[in-house]
Amino acid sequence: MMKSKIVGISAILLLPYVYLLLRIDDEELKRSILMNGAFSFVGFLITLRMIPVASRYLVLAICLGLILIRLALLKETLNPESLGIVVGTVFLAVVILFLGVAILFQPLNLIADSTWLVQYNSALTSICFMILLGFVDDVLDIPWRMKLVLPLVAALPLLMAYTGHTTIVIPKPLIPHLGFESLDLVFCTNSINIHAGINGLEVGQTVVIASAILIHNILRIGASTGNSEYQQAHLFSIHLIQPLFATSLALLSYNWYPSAVFVGDTYTYFAGMTMAVAGILGHYSETLLIFFAPQVINFILSIPQIAGIIPCPRHRLPRFDPQTGLLTGTKNGTLVNFCLRRFGRMYEQSLCIVLLSIQ
Ligand code: UD1
Ligand code: MG
């Protein structure tokens, strides 16, 4: 009742639109405002439709929270989850503050370059969006199919800036990028997340890959005398990867065995997205894929379960024996289980070291 009243009253807003149609002659201006209005109307419909859906998930989350509180009271300890929200927020603050200081004092000419700024800001928007979606996933536990689609949406700001155009009229050059680059983005964000489940692994792999990227960037800059565009691409990547490396290292000190905190999908999505963005804008996507080799193998091992050919349980963790503290590989198709089956039962910490050595 209230809902339809509110919608009805707000229809008064249509009056300015009538005025707009009648009085403003500039066609382009009119079209732009009306198109934005149409998009907003679709947003209205989606929000109207989504609130009841999200409400159901939120009720479930509250119930689960109450159950966890009871469990925590019984066990007296419970690892907090989603600590990625701290890393992601500090990362964004560092990157934004750096940009502000750099623009203010201009120690680097390249910051003043407007394409650089557009790319930097679109990279930040995409990463920020992914942090938000990761956090929502942690709180509401969204279905698996949605997890695959989300990075595609989050990638759009980056993909639009990447073509070098800031206008909407870019369908043609966007098509190949929407195919290739977005696949990179989707793969990287999800691949860290599914190579997971033991203490230190999610953050550990990120720290290893980020170091590899940093070394690669520095070597490339050193080797390219004179080619400033090439240097700039790698410089750009360094400016994103250094803060990622630093904040992840701090998280690792808490997440290493025995973990005091869990990182959540907030972190895995954020880390994957940041590295994919750096790889794309730094123009070294192929090299990045080599650094992601264990993730590629883990993904290939996972295909039968992800595609639903073999049943996929909610968690594909190894089996833990509380008597000995050893982990045993299960039949689930992951690199974690593969290593345990290949090298035998292991302690959680040893397994993490083995996997990071492979990385
Ligand atoms: C992904 C994996 C899932 C795996 C999970 C573990 C796929 C398709 N999904 O799901 O198989 O079980 O990651 O992260 O491959 N946890 C630990 N020890 C740790 C870290 C996490 O026990 O060191 C457990 C905790 O119970 C934590 C949960 O894993 O709550 C995290 O699960 P979540 O990140 O929500 O799982 P997904 O990313 O959906
Ligand atoms: Mg996860």
pLDDT of 178 reads 57
How far apart, in whole angstroms, are the C-alpha atoms of residue 317 and residue 305? 13
Q: How far is the CA of 93 from the centre of ligand 1 (A)?
A: 27
- Which residues partner with 298 through β-bridges? none
How far apart, in whole angstroms, are the C-alpha atoms of residue 38 and residue 44? 10
Q: Which residue lies with its CA nearest to atom 24 of ligand 1?
A: 197
Band (251; pLDDT cuts 50, 70, 90): very high
pLDDT of 167 reads 38
Q: Are 271 and 204 in contact (CB under 8 A)?
A: no
Handedness of CA 311, 136, 148, 48 (dihedral sign): positive
Residues in the chain: 359
pLDDT of 149 reads 79
How far apart, in whole angstroms, are the C-alpha atoms of residue 163 and residue 254? 39
Give the nearest ligand 1 atom to 138 CA: 35
Q: How far is the CA of 16 from the centre of ligand 2 (A)?
A: 47
Domain count, the chain: 1
Q: Is residue 326 part of a domain?
A: no
- Is pLDDT at 170 greater than 80 in this prediction? no
Query: Which is nearest to 268 in space by CA: 215, 348, 205, 333?
Result: 205
pLDDT of 111 reads 56
- Which residues partner with 347 through β-bridges? 326
pLDDT tens for 73-83 read 777 677 888 99
How far apart, in whole angstroms, are the C-alpha atoms of residue 176 and residue 22? 41
Average pLDDT, the chain: 88
- Is pLDDT at 176 greater than 60 in this prediction? no
pLDDT of 110 reads 59
pLDDT tens for 156-169 read 888 887 754 433 33
Band (171; pLDDT cuts 50, 70, 90): very low
Give the nearest ligand 1 atom to 263 CA: 20
Q: Is residue 315 part of a domain?
A: no
Strands, DSSP E only, in the chain? 319-321, 326-328, 346-347
Q: How far is the CA of 31 from the centre of ligand 1 (A)?
A: 47
Question: Domain limits at 47?
Answer: 2-287
**123: Cβ–Cβ under 8 A, 6 or more apart, which residues?**
158, 161, 240, 277, 278, 281
CA distances from 103 to 81, 108, 122, 231, 301 (A): 36, 8, 17, 20, 46
Q: Which one has a higher pLDDT value, 4 or 326?
A: 326
How far apart, in whole angstroms, are the C-alpha atoms of residue 131 and residue 127? 6
How far apart, in whole angstroms, are the C-alpha atoms of residue 108 and residue 321? 55
Give me the phi and psi of 179, to 5 degrees please. Answer: -70, -65
pLDDT of 298 reads 98
**Ligand 1: which of 315, 336, 352, 355 to mutate, most ligand atoms within 8 Å of CB?**
315
Q: Which one has a higher pLDDT value, 4 or 89?
A: 89
336 three-class SS: helix
pLDDT of 229 reads 82
Q: Which one has a higher pLDDT value, 113 or 277?
A: 277
* Percentage with pLDDT > 70 across the chain: 92
pLDDT of 64 reads 86
Give the nearest ligand 1 atom to 255 CA: 23
Q: Is residue 262 part of a domain?
A: yes
Q: Which-ligand-closest: CA of 191?
A: 1
pLDDT tens for 24-67 read 888 888 888 888 889 989 988 988 898 898 899 889 888 888 88
Handedness of CA 155, 160, 164, 166 (dihedral sign): negative
Q: What's the rounded mean pLDDT across residues 276-299?
A: 95
How far apart, in whole angstroms, are the C-alpha atoms of residue 211 and residue 308? 35
Q: Is residue 341 part of a domain?
A: no
**344: Cβ–Cβ under 8 A, 6 or more apart, which residues?**
none
pLDDT of 159 reads 81
Q: How far is the CA of 276 from the centre of ligand 1 (A)?
A: 21
pLDDT of 275 reads 97
pLDDT of 322 reads 94
**Ligand 1: which of 262, 295, 337 to mutate, most ligand atoms within 8 Å of CB?**
262
Q: How far is the CA of 196 from the centre of ligand 2 (A)?
A: 7
Q: Is residue 252 part of a domain?
A: yes
pLDDT of 166 reads 37
Band (141; pLDDT cuts 50, 70, 90): confident
Q: How far is the CA of 197 from the centre of ligand 1 (A)?
A: 5
Q: Is residue 163 part of a domain?
A: yes
Q: Is residue 336 part of a domain?
A: no
Q: Is residue 265 part of a domain?
A: yes
Residue ranges around ligand 1 (CB below 6 Å): 81, 193-194, 196-199, 259, 262, 265, 302, 315-317
pLDDT of 315 reads 94
How far apart, in whole angstroms, are the C-alpha atoms of residue 23 and residue 29? 12
